[in-house]
Chains A and B, each alone.
Chain A
């Protein structure tokens, strides 16, 4: 039985979060009525000329800086020629020999091990329109409908070296990249709407073989789950084919989520003859060092750096730091909460954000940006736990009240509802005396040796204090009095 090695490279198309298209002034907003966001440039009327959108270039620069790549001082747009009804010009404007971003790397975590994935390049290009088939209705059998609203939406195509060795690694890479493009604000990452789409180049080779096997490209993977399933299937298929004495033909394949299988597209032998050449309508894109420096000054702290800082500055566990840096919004929320609660409460803030708040957001299907409790409110609450004003249990009540809009701050709710912990031991003793005299039977049972009765008395006492006593203190006082 031969041992096989899996080799994967990923190409990702990230739609850039610009207002206007890459070469025209049409809107890129998703969901408009068909073809209303397709102007004369987008539908390729004769005589129109493309003019490059500065915002799209800045997205590319931000990405290059985030992955420590070279920003090409001079890059060139090229025509990629092919015919398809959703490509009105008969070519896609892309970059070929001289892309805007060269090299770079991204770290992924595989179990406990960190792995560096090398990037080949990232280049700017325009998206095509959309072809609709089934949506047209039965009277249009044999027709496709073309919507060119998406035509000309800026894309950054990000290409890796064939560095990935399993479906799990490929998915880990895609997730890290997805989080990064959202973090640096260049792509909304909405996979359902097609803002972030991956193609996987998959091949296998016997372990020890140095040259790569023939690859097949799985197109348009628009969820991480499908990516995992598609690559797993494809790898098994390729190994089975080779072990049966077959050969792998280079092909483009699609993944069918219903069957869980990949199938080759009906492609012609010339499908990949794109006859690239520099687009004479566009001059070289020049990016000087000053522009790059300005962009660098505007970069947010990157996820890896922030993760390290949360561990060293706030003493968080690697796990908490990782969870809190899944998005810029979440990390920002956490740091604002710590700012309000004080650094000594940083760990408690992490617990509240990753457990209580996360559970509540999840239950109500809200994003962190739509949280009903602000970071300042949460920080104020955690501060009151930290200084002993309230217990963790009472804090959950205060949190609920804030979430439901019953008070603007923890301090206000604690004062209004009289929730501060009873620390005055004479007041607590008086309450406990009442509890003991009201529950004489239990006291008798305890004295007769039933330890269970003691727990019941603690419960009664906590109830009498409306949860505002320190349970430890109640316990001790009860022992003393029953002793």
Chain B
């Protein structure tokens, strides 16, 4: 299977990546190469092999339901917000989003 330039534009848009027309064509080439690899893998007969959701065949470890973030939480917030472009009254400010 191979992609169309339109599909590349759509994927770029979904990922919020700005992409110029020449880049669409180079990206198309890269992605089609990847699809080639996938096709090679798809050709392997996996009948009877259970699909895995993760490369490692182990189970998720769980944490106890306990609050571990305690102490100077407003200081921690101040540290996080020091690198934010704009904040006010503890809130991160962003361009207005409303549906």
Interfacial residues, chain A to chain B (CB-CB below 8 A)? 18-20, 24-27, 33-40, 43, 45, 51-57, 76, 81, 83-85, 98, 131-133, 136, 140, 142-148, 254, 265-267, 270, 273, 275, 278, 280, 282-286
Contacts and interface: CB of A to CB of B under 8 A. Distances in A.
A146 B65 contact: no
Contact of A34 (B60, B63, B89, B97): B89
B22 to A, nearest CB: 24
Bin chain B's interface residue count.
Answer: 35 or more
Nearest to B89: A34
Given A33-B74, A53-B65, A55-B65, A283 B92 contact: no
A54 B65 contact: yes
A146 B94 contact: yes
23 contacts: A18-B65, A25-B63, A25-B66, A25-B68, A27-B67, A39-B76, A51-B63, A53-B63, A54-B63, A56-B65, A85-B97, A132-B91, A136-B91, A140-B93, A143-B94, A143-B96, A144-B96, A265-B99, A266-B99, A278-B54, A284-B59, A284-B60, A285-B59
A273 B14 contact: yes
B71 to A, nearest CB: 11
Contacts of A56: 65
B42 interface: no
Contacts of B45: none
Nearest to A274: B14
B53 interface: yes
Given A36-B74, A53-B65, A142 B90 contact: no
Given A98-B53, A144-B97, A286 B73 contact: no
Given A20-B66, A98-B53, A36 B90 contact: yes
B56 interface: yes
B66 A19 contact: yes
B65 A35 contact: no
A288 to B, nearest CB: 9
Contacts of A146: 91-94
Contacts of A83: 16
Contacts of A280: 54-55
A76 B63 CA distance: 17
B32 interface: no
A273 B89 CA distance: 35
List 4 A-B pairs, minimum CB-CB distance, nearest first.
Answer: A55-B65, A25-B68, A145-B91, A34-B90
Nearest to B91: A145
